[in-house]
């Protein structure tokens, strides 16, 4: 089950994307040919569904929520089991992803390339241009770089694994 298919309909995903691009409800309505009231009703439903996705991620990963950004689909959390900060992201391209913010050994992990690709896709979807140097960061550092735009500073320093 993924966020793309289990939470938002195609229409809701389009409305959510437009709001993440900072369009007003009136602008979204004009683009989609619907009333501002219909957009408002959809956004209330979307927020409820995004919050549900975060709640399920909290439960499945035994996390403590710190803050939820329903508009941008980013939640700041904490893992008591691993004693590290966590970012949970929701995107069209990757669905729900949980990013544990600790300094792992990405060089010896066979998934480092796929993690970096997922993070680059997150940045692209969110309209974040990554520099060449940012694209070379370890996945944990890249995640922090991307998602720090949406959450407070509760993540602090990346923990040593």
pLDDT digits (tens, 9 = 90+) for 14-69: 999 999 999 999 999 999 999 999 999 999 999 999 999 999 999 999 999 999 99
- What's the mean pLDDT when you consider all of the chain? 88
Listed residue (32, 52, 53) closest to 98, CA to CA: 53
Q: Are 111 and 100 in contact (CB under 8 A)?
A: no
């Amino acid at each position: 089950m993924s966020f793309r298919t289990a939470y938002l309909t195609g229409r809701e995903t389009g409305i959510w994307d437009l709001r993440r691009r900072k369009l007003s409800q009136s602008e979204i309505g004009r683009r989609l040919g619907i009333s501002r009231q219909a957009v408002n009703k959809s956004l209330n439903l979307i927020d409820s569904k995004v919050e549900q996705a975060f709640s399920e991620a909290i439960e499945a990963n035994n996390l403590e929520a710190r803050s939820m950004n329903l508009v941008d689909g980013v939640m700041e959390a904490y893992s008591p089991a691993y004693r590290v900060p966590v970012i949970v992201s929701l995107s069209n391209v990757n669905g729900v992803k949980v990013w544990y913010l600790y300094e792992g050994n990405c060089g010896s992990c066979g998934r480092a390339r796929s993690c970096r690709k997922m993070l680059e896709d997150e940045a692209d979807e969110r309209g974040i241009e990554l520099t060449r140097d940012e694209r070379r960061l370890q996945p944990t550092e890249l995640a922090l770089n991307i998602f720090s735009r949406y959450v407070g500073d509760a993540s602090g320093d990346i923990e040593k694994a």
